[in-house]
Structure 1
Amino acid sequence: MADPYLNLSIEHHLLQKSAPESAVLFLYINRPSIIIGRNQNPWVEANLALLDPARNNHPETEPPGLGVVDLVRRRSGGGTVFHDEGNVNWTVISPPKDFTRDKHAEMVVRALRSCDVDRSRVNERHDIVLDQGARTIEAASDDTHSTPYMSESGDPRPLKVSGSAYKLTRQRALHHGTCLLSSPNLNVIPDYLHSPAKPFISARGVESVSSPVGNILLKNDRFISTVQEQFAQLYGVNNEPQAVDEAWLEHDAIRKGYDEMR
């Protein structure tokens, strides 16, 4: 199931209805789509002319598009991201007392390192990056905020592979993020996330922070299974994973959220 509207509606339902003391892990993959934060201006964040070639408004000066790409506004803050089948999205919903902005990004880094992605770490913006330097320094193997490949000069810049966004309620905390594993569209993502109208718009919304990105080159299934293992260790749970599909749209609350997002 790769419907971004349905996946985000299920995520919101889990935030609202899961037991207050429970911890929930939700993993999903979307078809090509641009996901903007709740306080962002789409005219500033995305090249809207590329999204739907059927409208015949695709400028000749722009690169060829991928076909129809969904534009979806999520309910959490944060910046704009591009999703596709080479990107696995992860969400952890937990009690607020368990929440920090790094806790679950660190969980994902431990999963990546268990797959021998030893350049991965959490940076100061709570993103997950891959350091690109030569191995020059020693770093503790359990330190998820440093690697032996960090460059003291900052050059070459690390590649961002996962960004995060958050939503806090009185009873629940949601932390969700992306993970670029094997996106076939890496070379065109900048085209979609660069708005030609941005210089001409004065917007009050939150603007995204641009970063160089890269693929981890890891199979989706392996990433999913290792994140599940790390989540089970972190929260001491061993529940059988439950698959979601289009049948969840029959739930009234999820259908309502789905229709609102459309």
Structure 2
Amino acid sequence: MACKGLYTCRLQHQHPIAADVTRMAPSRGLGPVHALRRLPAGRGGFRAFASFTKTLADPKNKLQRYVSSSDDPYLNLSIEDHILSRSPPDSTVLFLYVNRPCVVIGRNQNPWTEVNLGLLDAARPAVDLVRRRSGGGAVFHDQGNLNWSITCPRNDFTRDRHAEMVVRALRKLGVERARVNARHDIVLDQGLEERASDPGDTHRTPYTGDDGTLPQPLKVSGSAYKLTRLRALHHATTLLCSPNLHSIPQYLRSPAKKHIQAQGVESVSSPVANIGLAISPFQQCLLHEFAEMHAAVGKAHVVTTVGQDHLNVPDIKKGYDEMRSREWMWSQTPRFDLLLDKPNDIGIEMNVHHGIIKSLVLKRARLSPKSQEGLRAALLEQKLQDIDRWSTHLQTRIGSLDDRTLAIAKRLEELLPMPKLIGS
């Protein structure tokens, strides 16, 4: 099957992309987050949720394909984890899904350093905050982004293998500038000069520049991974036609980052762009490319649609509830130190471990002994997830607050806000 001639949002890949580029740099203003109409899921037979796990776990099903009809990020990531835990050890499974607007951070990341939580809280309920179970960096999802997920035997896993599959699908749709880069991401080359290139080389295009040359390629897909004893999960974004492209860096830039020394994984910022394809044709091409790539394993069974009804699967519901909990979002945060001890700041140092304040040092805080004692009593061993607002919490624990303590509460509110999560 050739995937040519299918509808695209805007196919402009014979020339460098300019209009749909955003960089991780300041921009002027922040418009509303846009939600596109949810596109239909892939065609194919429907398996009732009651038989989903049975079909998934059947040893005869070496090659499986699933498409989600839901845009709930908590559900889609829980289905994905169910696929990882229940699919046969020697099977390979493709799962495609589109999420509503959300910021998704890696399992070992600090939300206060990776996300502008104040901005996200102001956007509620338009933008969700999600902590996934795999590692990697923070990303923004919306209905202009297709997420692809491959679960395969661990011995078959490489960081490039299925990214190369996605590049082949993109090129069949005319995106000849797409390639896999040295970081295992998918980028669009922006070179002006066309050079000789092997069409089968998924790591180079006719527009690939020499190392260090400009213009810089634009990132359109970033990956994350999770490895178990026998299985590997590789999932990634694909920026196709996001209407929120220029808002993404504002959500992924934290005002608290420069004040925090943190353990865990730090995101790497890159200039990003839309590919310019509609989701439906790319989805269909990717489903075919997956089946073609793994034809030696066996025939891929009919594309199965999964969705909201699959919350009736107990393991999926358990994972779904966990991902929406405050404990999962905040208590998974690696140890970090908040340092506000510069002369023009409030003069405190705070150590937080698993979302609990473990130490508090007051430097130049200019507080009375009574206020210092009250502040320590109110904050030490306190779970951050239980603080809706810092001023309210301190007033409840201490009583009336003097001006200096109010200033401390205001500063902590700026840097360590606690957005309400869906269902919390």
Shorter-chain TM-score: what band? over 0.9
The aligned counterpart of 2:110 is: 41
Contact 1:52–1:68 (Cα < 8 Å) also in 2: no
Partner Cα distance (1:231, 1:198) in 2: 40
Deviation at 1:208, TM superposition (A): 0.3
Report the equivalent of 2:315: 253
- Letter paired with 2:202: T
In structure 2, the CA distance between the partners of 1:206 and 1:225, relative to structure 1 (3 Å rule), is: same
| 1:67 positional shift | 5.2
Residue 219 of structure 1: aligned partner: 278
Larger radius of gyration: 2
**% of aligned pairs identical?**
61
Structure 1 residues 16 and 162: CA distance shift in structure 2, 3 A: same
SS at structure 1 position matched to 2:262? coil
Q: TM (normalized to structure 2)?
A: 0.58
In 2, are the aligned partners of 1:94 and 1:173 still within 8 Å (CA)? yes
Equivalent position amino acid for 2:204 in 1: S
Q: Higher relative contact order by CA 8 Å / sep ≥ 6: 1 or 2? A: 1
The more displaced of 123-132 and 165-174 is: 165-174
- Name 1:164's counterpart in structure 2: 223
- Structure 2 alignment gaps of length 5 or more: 1-69, 325-424
Query: Residue 99 of structure 1 aligns with which residue?
Result: 157
Return the alpha-carbon distance in structure 2 between the equivalents of residues 139 and 239 of structure 1: 36
Residues 43-91 of structure 1: CA distance to partner in whole angstroms, max 9, x if unpaired? 00010011132xxxxxxxxxxx585311111111111100000000000
SS in structure 1 at match of 2:76: helix
Unmatched runs of 5 consecutive residues or more in structure 1: 54-64
Computed over aligned residues only, the root mean square deviation of the Cα atoms, in angstroms, reads: 1.1
Mapped to 1, the partners of 2:118 and 2:124 lie a distance apart of: 12
Residue type at the aligned position of 2:78: S
How many residues of Structure 1 are paired with residues of Structure 2 in the alignment?
251
In 1, the alpha carbon distance for the partners of 2:225 and 2:314 equals 25
1:240 to 2:302 alignment = yes
1:84-126 Cα offsets, whole Å, 9 max, x none, are 0000000000111211110000000000000000000000000
**Whole-Å Cα distance in 1 between the matches of residues 185 and 193 of structure 2?**
21
* Selected match of 1:207 from 247, 266, 274: 266
Distance 2:90 2:266 in 1: 34
For 2:213, the aligned partner's letter is G
Please state whether the residue corresponding to 1:138 is helix, strand or coil. Answer: coil
Distance of 1:256 and 1:66 partners within structure 2: 24
2:95 to 7, 26, 32: 26
The secondary structure found in structure 2 opposite 1:207 is: coil
Q: Distance in 1 between matches of 2:271 and 2:180?
A: 15
Name the counterpart of 1:135.
193
Q: TM-score scaled by structure 1?
A: 0.94
Aligned to 2:394: none
Structure 2 residue 171 is matched with structure 1 residue 113: yes
